[in-house]
Amino acid sequence: MDYKIREARKEDMAAVLELIKELAAYEKSPGEVEIGVEDLEKEGFENGNFKCFVADVDGKIEGMALVYFRFSTWKGRTVHLEDLIVRESMRGTGLGGALYQRVVEYGHENGVKRVEWVVSEGNKNAIEFYENTGADIKKNWYTVHMGETGIRKNLKKRK
């Protein structure tokens, strides 16, 4: 298999959105994806809110890793890996590992002291893979989200 891990281009965003939707379907949440290609193009390429790497296999995007910078009060600037997705048909080919390695390299190139991400506790293969690469899984921490409904509810209480 001939593949290349490269920075995504604006014209790759339709394929990136397909991968995002494939992940949402896998996670049994297909209706949760609210963004479109235009959002990805604007936020990634006009506003610079994220960097995306893609696995290009013979001209077809088969995987992606989307990252952005965060700031840690303990470590300073960090890289957050939002999603690493490989098409189901391409899992087990090494594309995921190659994308992961590119994210780690990107963090190192940018002088960060930490690369961070969230992994589902049910994804045992990924957890084992990450631990084998030297990652530290924080098992006593919770990921907290507040969606639009929660934001509105919270703000109403404040008035």
103-129: per-residue pLDDT in tens? 999 999 999 999 999 998 888 989 999
Distance CA 76, CA 78 (A): 6
- Residue 113's alpha-carbon distances to 70, 72, 83, 108, in angstroms, are 11, 10, 20, 8
- Per annotation, catalytic residue among 26, 100, 130, 142: 130
Measured in degrees and rounded to the nearest 5, phi and psi for residue 38 equal -60, -40
Structure confidence at residue 157 (pLDDT): 79
Mean pLDDT value of segment 50-68: 97
Residue 67: is its pLDDT beyond 80? yes
Least confident of 30-34, 75-79, 122-126: 122-126
Mean pLDDT value of segment 46-53: 98
* 68 carries an active-site annotation: no
- Report the percent of the chain where pLDDT is more than 70: 99
- Report the percent of the chain where pLDDT is more than 90: 87
Residue 58: is its pLDDT beyond 90? yes
